Amino acid sequence: MADYTAKRETGDGAESEPVSHRVKRTKADDGAGRKDAGKEPECTNILQGFKTSRVLSDSAREKNIFIHGKLADEEAVVILEKTPIREDTLADLLSASVLKLEMKNDIYSTYRLQAPPQFNEIKTTVVCPATEKHVKKYQRQESFLVEETGEDYQSITLPYLQQHNFSVQWVYNILEKKAEADRIVYEDPDPNVGFVLLPDFKWDQKQVDDLYLIAIAHCRDIKSLRDLKSEHLPLLKNIFQKGKEAIMQRYHIPANKLRVYLHYQPSYYHLHVHFTKLGYEAPGCSVERAHLLSDVIQNLQCDPQYYRTRTLYFPLKAEDGLLREFKETGRL
């Protein structure tokens, strides 16, 4: 509902694969569910038949582009993102590339560097079949900050969510090991306080500077921050502690270098917690959307009904259906 980028990406570790595009088929993270939990054959270019309709948005700073079109007569959104330059490949990159001089002036010179294919990957995310909601999600739109009271949630937001019945079947596939079981970094199987920890699709897992993992709770009756009560403190503390320990053991990043938070509004309505490396400006980590898990725990310790009653703020795009509901009821 509120995020602008693809939520998760599978990292396959194919660092020296001699192709310039890695194509991944991703989940519909805002409620459409995953049609196919399996991976595409790595050598198959499913984009050969892609027909471009329009560019939804692009960013020179983020070095990505979002494209709407058709794939095998089905609506699709394709996201192309330049991959980060990795420190461990610098020596080979600099020695094997071709430089073309553009300008030289005293001590300054600029070049166009043509890198070998293995250093010139473009991370590619495919959402297919894409719904109108996906198209709007990735389209460049003006955003508005919504002020939602506890009463607004009950009378506007919750009925909207119930009416649209956003599916999280892809989440259940992960929890039940029907999909992505090989990507799970850590699991606590306890049905009440347990969770699975796995890489977010935005992280290619080739460097830890942009580390991004998601902890998905086994408990299925918590949609978002609004549902949390003091009775959920054991679950939240368990995710907080064991998630940090698992990341330290696997990636050697201490807790004081992690940002651990929840989104409100979330992009899908099943309790999940974001773990990112401090210093990495992950999409959605801004103050109007991210809530530090440590703060959430403390707030619930002070007031068991804190998130049931307090006013929360979050951004919505101009064409978001929930924004329309707030406008029609005179709350915006």
User: Which sequence positions are flagged as catalytic?
Assistant: 272
Instruction: For residue 147, give Cα distances in angstroms to 52, 264, 313.
Output: 37, 12, 5
Residues facing residue 85 across a β-bridge = none
d(C-alpha 262, C-alpha 296), whole Å: 9
For tokens 């990795």, what's the residue?
A: 86
What is the full DSSP assignment across 237-286? Answer: HHHHHHHHHHHHHHH---GGGEEEEEESS-SSSS-EEEEEETT---TT-S
174: number of CA atoms within 13 Å, CB side?
28
d(C-alpha 16, C-alpha 314), whole Å: 41
182: number of CA atoms within 13 Å, CB side?
7
DSSP letter at 180 equals -
Total residue length of the chain: 332
Query: What is the β-pairing status of strands 21-25 and 122-127?
Result: parallel
Helices then strands, counting H and E runs in the chain, come out as: 9, 15
Is 189 within 8 Å of 195 (Cβ atoms)?
A: no
Alpha helices in 84-232 (DSSP H): 90-96, 132-138, 150-152, 158-164, 169-175
Q: Please choose, from the candidates 90, 125, 286, the residue with its C-alpha nearest in 3D space to the C-alpha of residue 203.
A: 125
Q: Torsions phi, psi of 266, nearest 5? A: -80, 165
